[in-house]
Amino acid sequence: MAESTENQFETGTVVYDPASDSVGEYQGKAGPYALLRPVGGGREWEARPQSLRPATPGERLSAGVRAANSRSFHGSQEPSAPGTDPGTRPGPAPVRDCAACDDLAALRDDARARHDGSAETDADVLLRRHQLRYHAPLLGLRDSALVPDASAGAEYETACTECPAGSGARRHPADVEAWRHGHTRETGHARYRRTVADYAVYESQVSVP
Ligand SMILES: [Zn+2]
Ligand SMILES: [Zn+2]
């Protein structure tokens, strides 16, 4: 029983760390520690891997909502009024192969299955914010104030969590995948940390006729 396996979480899994009483996204191992990051981004912290457990849906949602609220653009809260306009918008679809999208979409589907309209709306808001932040160029999303910088494309990067190797910043996700396949084939390493960076420009809102 003491022999519980390490590396028990997929990168991006939202876990609960009792030492800090916080919920974070599992980023991989850093020496003897597990590296966690606040849901939605922020400063990473180290946790004892053996003490972690998967966060409950409730914990994940409240951590996500906190993250969303703390970074809401120019102070305006995204409307998350429970069940005001059910079914008027279909809700964002997860981006393929994005753990965070999958997680948030699963949260939404859970809420929908429970007929919890409030939790469903919250999950949709989180998914929308996450996609606006990480997939804007991919999905052609726009925010009224934060406009994707078309002159600087997104950068994709994957780093092995089992050795210092990394793909470096690439212009296309397929290049990162090719690197990852090659590295796994050469080394057997199977755990990676993936990041997508995109550039955006803040524009003051100008009314267009
Ligand atoms: Zn995503
Ligand atoms: Zn490696």
Centre of ligand 2 to C-alpha 161, Å, is 6
Task: Provide the β-strand partners of residue 159.
Answer: 166, 193
Helix (H, G, I), strand (E, B) or coil at 75: helix
Q: What 3 state SS string does 145-181 have?
A: CEEECCCCCCEEEEEECCCCCECCCECCHHHHHHHHH
Question: 150: which 2 tokens?
Answer: 């078309």
Q: How far is the CA of 115 from the centre of ligand 1 (A)?
A: 24
The ligand that comes nearest to the alpha carbon of residue 193 is: 2
* Enclosing H/E stretch for 29: strand 22-30
Say if residues 98 and 135 touch (Cβ distance below 8 Å). Answer: yes
Torsion sign across C-alpha atoms 75, 78, 81, 84? positive
Question: How many Å lie between the centroid of ligand 1 and the Cα of residue 207?
Answer: 30
Short-list 96, 91, 104, 97, CA closest to 25:
104
Question: Which residue ranges make up each domain of the chain?
Answer: 14-54, 148-202
Q: What is the pLDDT along the chain (209 residues), one digit of tens a residue?
A: 444 445 578 888 888 998 888 888 888 888 888 998 887 777 888 899 888 988 877 777 777 666 655 554 433 344 444 444 444 446 788 888 888 888 889 889 888 898 888 888 888 888 888 888 777 777 776 554 556 666 666 788 899 999 999 998 888 888 888 999 999 999 999 999 888 877 766 655 444 44
Decide: 42 and 36 in contact? Cβ < 8 Å. Answer: no
Judged by its nearest atom, the ligand closest to the C-alpha of residue 96 is 1
Can you tell me the distance from the alpha carbon of 185 to that of 87, in angstroms, rounded to the nearest whole number? 46
Q: Is the ipTM of this complex over 0.85?
A: no
Cβ–Cβ < 8 Å for 104, 130: yes
DSSP state of 44: -
Distance, CA of 121 to CA of 52 (rounded, Å): 28
Q: What is the pLDDT of residue 59?
A: 76
